[in-house]
Chain A
Amino acid sequence: MTTLTVTQNFGKGAKDIAVYRKLGGYSTIGQKLFDLSQFEMIDLVQRSGLRGRGGAGFPTGMKWSFVPRGGKPVYLVVNADEGEPGTFKDHVLMQEDPHRLIEGMILCGWALGVRTAYIYVRGEFLPAIETLNAAIKQAYEAGFLGENIQGSGYSLDIYVHRGAGAYICGEETALINSLEGFKGQPRLKPPFPAVSGAWASPTCVNNVETLMALPWIFENGAEAYAAMGTPKSTGTKVFSVSGDVKRPGVYEVPLGTPLMELLESDKYCQGVVGKLKGVIPGGSSSPVLTVEEAAKATMDYEALAALKTMLGSGAVVVFNETRSVVGMLASLTRFYAHESCGQCTPCREGTGYADRILKTVVAGKGRDGDLENMLSLADNFSYTTICPLASADAGPIQNFIGKYRAEFDAVVARNPEHADERVTPAFRPGAFW
C-alpha cells in the first residue's frame, strides 16, 4: 500500500473543517510547532529532500534558506496558477483538500516568518477559489489564521488572488508582477524572489502540492518522507494523467515509479486506450517520449532528465496510434504563441512565427524546408530569453519533429507543389507606397 502524503483525504469531504480535523487535520499547529525555531523548521524540510512540485524541482528547503529573516516583511505566495497543458493536479488538490494547503501554508509561514500570504489561483478556477475562500474563512473562525494563531503569538493572513488568464503567470517572477498589479511579465534575475520579490521584499513562491506535503512531513518526520521515492527524488508526487488512458485522473505515487506502472496498473490508469504511440511525461513543455522510451522511463527527476525530458509538473499526456502528432504540435505551438508575454523579442516573434509556419503546413501548404526552418527558429529562441517559455516551446518542436519526422514529412508532401522552387510573388509594392 502506497503511503499517501497529499491525497489521503480525497473523496472524504475534507473541504469542511470539521471533517478535516476529524481526519487528523491541523494537528501540526500546536505546541510542537511553536517550540520549533524557524531554523529548525527549514532544516526539517531540507532533510526531507522535498523538491518543488511546480515544474523546476528546486529543493524547497534550500529555497527557504535563501530567504533573509528579520528584515523586510517576508511574503509567501502559493503558485496555483496551474496552466501547463495536461496539468490539473493543483486544481483537484485545492478542490478536494483546501485545508491541507492552509495547514501547509501555516507551517511554511512559521518557518519563514510570513505575516501575509497570497494564494495566486488562475482565473479559470473560480469554483476552486470559492472552495479556498470558504476554507480560509473556516480556518479564521477556528483560530488557525489571523492574529495570534492558537495563542502562539504568531499571526498569518491568507488571501486568495485571482489571476485572469495568462499561462506565463505560472513563472514565479511573472506571478509576482501579476500579484503586484502589473502585466504578468517575468522579471530579470537576479535579484531572485527569495531575496527581492513582491514589493521588493523577500518572497517565497511555492507550488500547491509542495506546501500540501508539509503537514505529513512535519507529522511523520523528514526521514520517513526521505525514505520514499529515490535517494535524490524523495517522497511521493501527484501525477495528473490525461489523454488516451482508460481512467484519466490524479494519482499519487512515490517518485521513481515506472511510467508504465502508472499507466497500466489497475490502481491507477488501468491501461492505455488503443496502441500507445507516445507519452508527454511532464506537461506540454517537456519533450515527448516514444513507446520504447516510455517503457523504460521511471517517474523521477533524474531518470527523466537522463531521457532528455523532464518530470515538470507531473502532467502525463498519453496519445495512441490514431492521433496525429502534427495536430498535437500545432495545438502546442498555438498555445505558446498565444501565451508568450511579448516581452523578449525571440519568444514574442519566434513562437508566433513557428506557429504560423506549422499552421501553413497543417493547412496543406507546406514546403520543403519549412520543417528545417521551424527547427532552426526553435533553436534560435530557446534559452535566449528572460524566462523559459520560449524554450518550453522549442522542446516540443524539436522533439515532435525529431521523433516523428516521417509523419511531418507526409503532411508536407500533401502539398502537390511542396518541392517546387520557392516562387516569390511578382513585385507589387504595398499599398502604403
Chain B
Amino acid sequence: MSNFYHMPVLPKPDAKKVTINVDGADVEVPEGTNLVEALKTIGIDTPHFCYHQDLPVSGNCRQCMVETDGPRGMGLAIACYTPVRAGMKVATDRSSDKVKQARQAVMEFQLANHPLDCPICDKAGECSLQDNYMAAGRHESRMREDIGKLYKGSPEFRHEDAKGQERGGKHVDLGPTVILDQERCILCDRCVRFMRSVAGEEQLYINQRGDHAFLSTFPGMELKHDYDLNVTDICPVGALTGKHFRFRQRVWNLSKTETIDPFDSLGANITVEHNDGQAWRIMPRRNPEVNKSWISNRTRLEYQKLSKDRLTAGSFQKAEVPLAQAVARAGELVRGARKVAVVASGTLTLEDNAALQALVAGLDKKAELFSGSWAKVGSPDGIAQSGDPVGNRLGLKLLGISENLDELVARAKEFDVLLVAGHDLWALDAQKAKALEAIPERIVLSPWHDATTAKATLSVGVRAWAEVRGTMVNCQGRIQMLNAAPILPSPDLEPVWQVVSSIGKLGWTSELDAYKAAQAGIPALAGINYRGIGSQGRLLEGVVA
C-alpha cells in the first residue's frame, strides 16, 4: 500500500533504444520503461488489472506475469514492475507455458470469488476481467459449487440470498455520483491510488485483509470529489459505476467520437459515446500531455446538456420560424444595418471565429468585432482543468481578436445590430448585458434556449460543440480537434461558421474553407492541416513561452 511512489516510466518518442530478447527474437525497445510498456511498443499486449499508466505501480494483480532471466535462470516476474535491461531475455505467453499457466492460474483465482454478474454488469463489454479471461484460456471451471464463493463485502452489507449463500455488498451507495459493488471488486486498488495520488483526497481504502478484504469509504462518509467519476473508468471490473450512466446503455452498442472539452482552456481530450443519435456518456481520452487519463465530473456530465433545451429552429419576434428563414432574415439585418457589433467567443472553434472575422471584414467600416468573456476564471487544479472556462481564449488571441467586451457595453448606443455567437451574455452578467438591450436588433446564434436567446430579437439555432468539426487552441498552445458526433437534435442545424457564411455571403462550403481563413490569420498554423493535428493535438511553436 505504501507503493505509491513508483510511478511507471512511460516510453518517450525520443527515448534511447535498447535491445532485448522477447520470445527468442531480438527487438529494440525504449530504455528504462517497464516491460508492459516496452512490450506494447513492439505490439505485444500484456494483460493486467492493477497497472495503470498514470498511477503508481502497485503490482498486486499478478496477471502481467512474464518470464525473465535472473540470477537463478528464467523465472516469473511481473511485467509492470520489471524494468527493461539491455540484453535481458523475456518470454511471454506466446513462447512460455509457464507464463500461460501463471496467467490462467491468476484468472482462476480472480474468478473464484467473483460473482457471475456479467449480464447485469454495466462494465460488460469493456471489462478487463472478461477480456483477460478470454485471452487466458482454460474456460472450464474446477471450482466445486457446493463449496461456494466468498463474496466480498463489509459487515453491514452482508446478507443471505435465496440460495442460502452468504453475499457481500451489492449496489452500495458511495456518494452523489458513484455506486460500488463490493462483490465484483477484485481489489486492484486502482481507485485507492487514484484518490490518494491524483485526486489528493484519500476517501477510499481497502479494509480488512485476505479474501474477505473489501473496498469502502469510512462508514458513513461519502466519496465526493470533483474527479471521483474517474474511478469508474479505471475500475477494471464493474465494481465502481457512475450513477449517471448506470443501466442506460450496454457499452457494445455505443459508437465513439473523439473530441475535446471546449469549456475549459486545457481542452481535456474526451470521447463522446453515442447511440441512436443520442450521446450517452463522455469518457476521457488519454493524452499524456494534456489531461493524462482524467476528466472532471463537470466535463463528463457535459453530454447531458446536449439533448436538453435545444434551439432547433429560429425565432423572430417571439415566433418560431424555420431555420433557413431565420438565417436569411439575419443576413438582411446585418447587411442592411447602419453599424453592426459582432461578438466572437472563446467557446467557439477557430473556424467559427474566423468566419465572424471574415464577416466583419466583408462589411467594411460598418461592422466592429468584439470579444471577451465575463465568465469567472479559476485556477488550475493540476489534474485536467485549467480553471478558465473559455476553451479557445488563446485561439482568439492568435486570430488577433481583442477582449473588449466591456467597451461594447460602453458604446452600445452606437450600434443598431448586435450579432452574438457562442455566448450566454445575459446569464454570465445580466447587469452589464442590460446595456446591450439598447441595441434594437439583437441576433443570437446559440445551440440552446438560454437567457441570451430570450433577450434576442432574432435567434438562430446552431450546432453544439459535440456536433461540429473544428479546432481550438488550448492554454498550452496546443491545437486540438473537435469532431462531429452524429447526434444532431435536428438535421437542419448548421455550425456557426456556415450560418455566418450565409449571413455574410462568404460562400464557404466546408469547415476547411473556414480553417484556411484562420490559417491565413495565424502564422503558427502555417503548414498544419487537420490530419497533422491528429488525435493528440499539436503543440504550436512559439505560441506560449
Contact = CB atoms under 8 A, between A and B. Distances in A.
B319 interface: no
B2 A180 contact: yes
Contact of A352 (B62, B170, B186, B211): B211
Given A342-B187, A357-B147, 8 more contacts: A342-B211, A342-B212, A345-B186, A350-B109, A356-B147, A384-B76, A430-B115, A431-B163
Interface in A341-371: 341-346, 348-353, 356-357, 360, 365, 367, 370
B146 A425 contact: yes
Interface in B169-218: 170, 186-187, 206, 208-213
A113 B143 CA distance: 54
Interface stretch (B99-107, B397-405, B483-491): B99-107
Interface in B105-132: 105-106, 108-110, 112-113, 115-117, 119-120
Nearest to B142: A373
A352 B148 CA distance: 12
A340 B211 contact: yes
Contacts of A381: 105, 109
B110 A432 contact: no
Interface string B252-290: 000000000000000000000000000000000000000
B161 to A, nearest CB: 4
A367 B76 CA distance: 32
A344 B300 CA distance: 32
Interface of B: 1-3, 5-6, 57-63, 65, 75-76, 81, 101-102, 105-106, 108-110, 112-113, 115-117, 119-120, 142-148, 150, 161-163, 165, 167, 170, 186-187, 206, 208-213
A182 B340 CA distance: 66
Interface string A121-144: 000000000000000000000000
A412 to B, nearest CB: 13
A349 B146 contact: no
A365 B163 contact: no
A380 B146 contact: no
The listed residue with most A CB atoms (<10 A of its CB), out of B61, B62, B143, B165, is: B62
A173 to B, nearest CB: 9
B78 to A, nearest CB: 8
A424 B187 CA distance: 29
A187 interface: yes
B64 to A, nearest CB: 11
Nearest to A183: B1
Contacts of A376: 142
Contacts of A430: 115-116, 161-163, 165
Contact of B210 (A338, A383, A386): A338
Given A349-B113, A373-B142, A432-B120, A342 B208 contact: yes
A431 B213 contact: no
Contact of A344 (B62, B146, B147): B62
Contacts of B206: 183, 342
A345 to B, nearest CB: 5
B133 to A, nearest CB: 13
Contact of B145 (A353, A357, A425): A425
A166 B213 CA distance: 14
A152 to B, nearest CB: 35
B67 to A, nearest CB: 12
Given A187-B2, A345-B106, A385 B62 contact: yes
Interface of A: 166, 177, 180, 182-183, 185, 187-188, 200, 337-346, 348-353, 356-357, 360, 365, 367, 370, 373, 376, 380-381, 383-386, 422, 424-425, 428, 430-433
The listed residue with most B CB atoms (<10 A of its CB), out of A343, A380, A385, is: A343
Contacts of B150: 352, 356
Contacts of A182: 1-2
A384 B106 contact: yes
8 nearest A-B residue pairs (beta carbon): A380-B105, A352-B211, A342-B213, A431-B161, A349-B109, A431-B162, A342-B209, A340-B210
Nearest to B61: A345
The listed residue with most A CB atoms (<10 A of its CB), out of B2, B102, B144, is: B2
Contacts of B161: 430-432
27 contacts: A183-B209, A188-B58, A339-B210, A342-B209, A343-B1, A343-B60, A343-B187, A345-B186, A346-B62, A348-B109, A348-B187, A348-B210, A349-B109, A350-B109, A353-B112, A360-B147, A367-B144, A380-B105, A381-B109, A383-B76, A384-B65, A384-B105, A424-B145, A425-B146, A430-B116, A430-B161, A430-B165
Nearest to B170: A432
B106 A342 contact: no
B60 A386 contact: yes
A188 B210 contact: no
A365 B62 contact: no
A14 B130 CA distance: 63
B144 A370 contact: yes
Contacts of A432: 115, 117, 120, 161, 167, 170
Contacts of A425: 145-146
A337 B210 contact: yes
Contact of B163 (A343, A384, A428): A428
A182 B206 CA distance: 12
Contact of A346 (B2, B59, B109): B109
Contacts of B105: 346, 380-381, 384
Given A348-B211, A349-B113, A384 B120 contact: no
A138 to B, nearest CB: 35
Contacts of B167: 431-432
B63 A345 contact: yes
Contact of A345 (B6, B81, B109): B109
A288 B128 CA distance: 40
A177 B1 contact: yes
B1 A185 contact: yes
A380 B108 contact: yes
A377 B342 CA distance: 73
A278 B197 CA distance: 51
A432 B183 CA distance: 12
Contacts of B119: 433
Contacts of B116: 430
A352 to B, nearest CB: 4
B372 to A, nearest CB: 49
B6 A188 contact: yes
The listed residue with most B CB atoms (<10 A of its CB), out of A338, A348, A373, A386, is: A348
A430 B161 CA distance: 7
Contacts of A343: 1, 60, 187
B2 A344 contact: no
B209 A341 contact: yes
Contacts of B170: 432
A425 to B, nearest CB: 6
A381 B65 CA distance: 13
A369 to B, nearest CB: 8
The listed residue with most B CB atoms (<10 A of its CB), out of A183, A381, A384, A428, is: A384
Nearest to B75: A383
A341 B210 CA distance: 5
A342 to B, nearest CB: 4
B147 A188 contact: no
B388 to A, nearest CB: 37
A373 B140 CA distance: 14
B192 to A, nearest CB: 11
A342 B426 CA distance: 56
A340 B209 contact: yes
B136 to A, nearest CB: 12
A243 B2 CA distance: 38
A342 B363 CA distance: 72
Given A342-B209, A345-B106, A425-B145, A188 B59 contact: yes
